Amino acid sequence: MSPDRRSVVITGIGPVTASGIGVDALSAGLRSRRSPVADVTRFDATPFRSHMAAEIPDFEPEAYMEAKQARRLDRFVQFSLAGARLAMEDASLDADAVDPTRAAIEMGSAMGGIAHAEDELRKYLSGGARTIDPRLATTTFAGAASCHVAIQYGFTGPNTTNAMSCAAGAIAIGNAARLIRDGVADVAIAGGVDAPLAPVCYGAFSSIRAMSTRNDDPAASCRPFDKDRDGFVMGEGACIFVLEAFEHARARGARMYAEVRGYGTNNDAYHMAAPRPDGSRAAACILAAIESAGLAPSDVGHVNAHGSSTALNDSTETKAIRAALGEHAARVPVTGTKPYHGHALGASGAMEAAIACLTMRDGWIPPTLNLLEPGVGCDLDYVTGAGRDGTYRAVLSNSFGFGGINAVLLLTAPSELH
């Protein structure tokens, strides 16, 4: 595509995931072909039907911010700042060299600082009003993520955090790309973050029977598209990107992972927890992303699926991919990567977009872990085993969330810009 279109490129990636923190660690985690899902350690999960999660046990916030600052912040904001710093460093972007009025922040978080809020409620119930942390109001609202990132770098352009469930991270990236494409910004920090591993939040999802109960084998519990899938596995973390206008990135000699070439979002208007059964709105969202990129369904080389490992989602997503891509769907390799990072709610779409970038960079699709036999209605070319080598120049990254929210990114290799 000609750079005259105000193309938007990804120049930095900052993953904070259960499979690895930083691009190299995430890449190594994918290559290990092992799921980090294990028993919950952050609280006692035994009262619930589900007992496992994709935790990040080795996250040390002091490695990314001052210890005093870390103590003041909720874990989800710590993740945000860590991911932003990793992305800025990965992009070799000096904040002082950026026009702050032309730099935007776009974040997504489904649950915000819910873990901190739960902690403070327990203190209140045991000790009364005097025990409430005065910082609670400014540390738990979802917008704290983008606001702290803006303050950290002094970026004064548009600043938004959306809370659109499991599609929030993908929506943030799509919105940031639009700001740059429309000429409102030259640079954006964008992505998703969630730290939902707190007993009430976790218990709520367990109570609606949305999560896997394969407690005797946690590493095998997240199994997208498999006939024995029985629910998602909750995760935590963040993945933050540096997006730039192509001209801005080229002028400073930046390395480019991918172009954010297409984006679509809509909603099912059907149910708060179940997808529209025929997958028609998800299919329309996929087509919107393809059409906004100026491409055809036959141009899609790979799909990083939402693949939540739930009975309804995986078969419905398969319908949507088939409806959107037509006959080409049978030839497109599909992978679900949540076994590597869990369903980190608002962060998942951003994590999966990062993996899509690595797929194009490395020419390798990570396998869908734990997929032994596809379930009924799951009949696409799912990548399993050792993964798959190849050249992938256009990749779809699907994100479908509670409330019927759909968001799809279409990423293309940077070579397509020339």
Catalytic positions, written as ranges: 166, 306, 343
CA 241/CA 245 separation, integer angstroms: 13
**How far out from the chain centre does Cα 45 lie?**
25
- Measured from the Cβ of residue 307, the count of other Cβ atoms closer than 10 Å reads 32
| CA pair distance 398, 303, nearest whole angstrom | 8
318 vs 305: CA distance, rounded Å:
9
3-state DSSP call for residue 80?
helix
Unique residue bearing structure tokens 């606001």? 147
Measured from the Cβ of residue 285, the count of other Cβ atoms closer than 10 Å reads 27
Contact indicator for 317, 305 with CB cutoff of 8 Å: yes
| Cα–Cα distance for residue pair 128/133, rounded to 1 Å | 11
> Coil, strand, or helix at residue 50?
coil
Question: Cα 92 vs. chain centroid, distance in angstroms?
Answer: 22
**Residue among 264, 92, 112, 109 at smallest CA distance from 187:** 92
Q: Please state the separation of Cα 78 from the chain's center in Å.
A: 17
DSSP 235: B
Of 293, 268, 282, 93, residue with least CA distance to 189: 93
Q: Give the whole-angstrom CA distance, residue 251 versus residue 413.
A: 19
242, 353 contact by CB (below 8 A): no
